[in-house]
Amino acid sequence: MSSKKKSKRSAKKTSYTPRPKGLAGVRPDKALGQNFLIDEDTISTIVSESGVTKDTLVLEIGPGTGALTLPLAEAAGRVIAVELDEGMIKGLRVKTFSLGNVEIIHQDILETDIKSLASEAMAEHGLKELRIIGNLPYYITTPIIMKLLESDTGATSITVMMQKEVADRIAAEPGTRASGAITYPVHYYARVSEIAFVPKECFYPVPKVDSAVLRLDLRDEPAVKVKDEDLMMRCVKAGFSMRRKTLLNSLTALGYQDKQILSKALISAGIDPTRRAETLTLEEFAKLSDNLQEE
């Protein structure tokens, strides 16, 4: 090999990203979705746009090395941070000890009883509201959001970072092509706003995808009235289980053997059975579910 060729090869760029200050000794675990936030502007935006005050109890999901935990503890009355990775816990406790208002819990957020945890802490510390915040582990974004919405935590808002593509799906208007099964429950329970676009370079290690932060403000009353919430959510799931098919076909996933029942429920809700799930508004899903409930 000529020396010219050799030098060209050694000059080839690698994808190595230097470890940012503050993350020394940290070995990110991909399986736990560990991409740590290293961009100060994004951290400030999340804290300032999440509505946190000294009257707030923050429930943080996946604090990791504490990039958000420390600034949140300064802005809030108290922070309870739930982290699954035992390796992160000790360092985080050391970092936050002197603040005196941070509690680190070693637990899976999907198994955490947020409602009792929060109500006890709020009563004990005289706090007025709960806000849930986190840079989510992306491998369980949807289960976490569904749990937060369905478990009646009493939270005022949920401010979470997720993959941009998922954020777009959630923020889409129900009944538009961009909507998906997750769009409907989120809009049913909350008002959605995107508070930041976060390019992948804002994380260490750099992930493959960009991210976005959404704020979900929980409604006092759901967006539409429906007789059986659970049945409406099952209609949405069934409708999107085969999103390219007509509603008459996709709704068979609900278990109805007789398509006549589905057809009748759709028509009396004013919905053409040949439409697809993504064209239905929340109101239409509610009407459809009310009609099916009467069958």
The interface region with ligand SAM, picked from 104-112, 175-183, 226-234, 272-280 by CB under 6 A, is 104-112
> How do beta strands 102-106 and 129-135 pair?
unpaired
Per-state percent for the chain, helix, strand, coil, to nearest 5: 45, 20, 35
C-alpha span between 198 and 194 (Å, rounded): 11
Question: At closest approach, how far in Å is the CB of 66 from ligand SAM?
Answer: 7
In contact, 28 and 205? CB cutoff 8 Å: yes
Closest approach, Cβ 211 to ligand SAM, in A, equals 9
Task: Please report whether residue 79 would count as binding ligand SAM according to CB under 6 A.
Answer: no
Question: Which member of 50, 57, 58, 63 binds ligand SAM (CB under 6 A)?
Answer: 63
Residue 34 touching ligand SAM (CB under 6 A):
yes
HSE-up of 95 (CA within 13 Å, CB side)?
19
Q: Does 64 bind ligand SAM (CB under 6 A)?
A: yes
Q: Is 91 exposed, middle or buried (0-12, 13-18, 19+ CB in 10 A)?
A: middle
155 binds ligand SAM per the rule CB under 6 A:
no
Does position 148 interact with ligand SAM (CB under 6 A)? The reply is no
What's the closest the beta carbon of residue 57 comes to ligand SAM, in angstroms? 17
Q: Among all chains, which residue has been given the structure tokens 């064209």? A: 279
Q: Which helix (H) or strand (E) holds 35?
A: none
Number of H helices, E strands in the chain: 12, 9
Indicate which single residue of 26, 32, 231, 253 sits in contact with ligand SAM (rule: CB under 6 A).
Answer: 32
Of residues 37 and 192, the one with the C-beta less far from ligand SAM: 37
> Which of 47, 58, 59, 67 forms a contact with ligand SAM (CB under 6 A)?
67
Q: What amino acid is encoded at 144 in this protein?
A: I
* Contact between 110 and ligand SAM per CB under 6 A: yes
Neighbours of 158 (CB within 10 A): 27
- Per CB under 6 A, the list member of 36, 184, 189, 285 interacting with ligand SAM is 36
Stretch that binds ligand SAM, among 10-18, 26-34, 152-160, 240-248 (CB under 6 A): 26-34
- State which residue, 196 or 265, has the beta carbon closest to ligand SAM: 196
Out of 72, 79, 88, 182, the residue judged to bind ligand SAM by CB under 6 A: 88
As a residue count, the chain comes to: 295
Q: Which is nearer to ligand SAM, 111 or 221 (CB)?
A: 111
Q: Which listed range, 4-12, 31-39, 165-173, 193-201, lies at the site for ligand SAM (CB under 6 A)?
A: 31-39
- 80 contacts ligand SAM (rule: CB under 6 A): no
CA dihedral 152, 292, 234, 255 (to 10 degrees): 140
DSSP string over 214-253: EEEEE-SS-SS--S-HHHHHHHHHHHHHTTTS-HHHHGGG
By CB under 6 A, the residues from 170 to 199 that bind ligand SAM are: none
Spatial CB neighbours of 113, under 8 Å, sequence gap ≥ 6: none
85 binding ligand SAM? (CB under 6 A): yes
Binding site for ligand SAM (CB under 6 A): 32-37, 61-64, 67-68, 82-85, 88, 108-110, 135, 137, 140
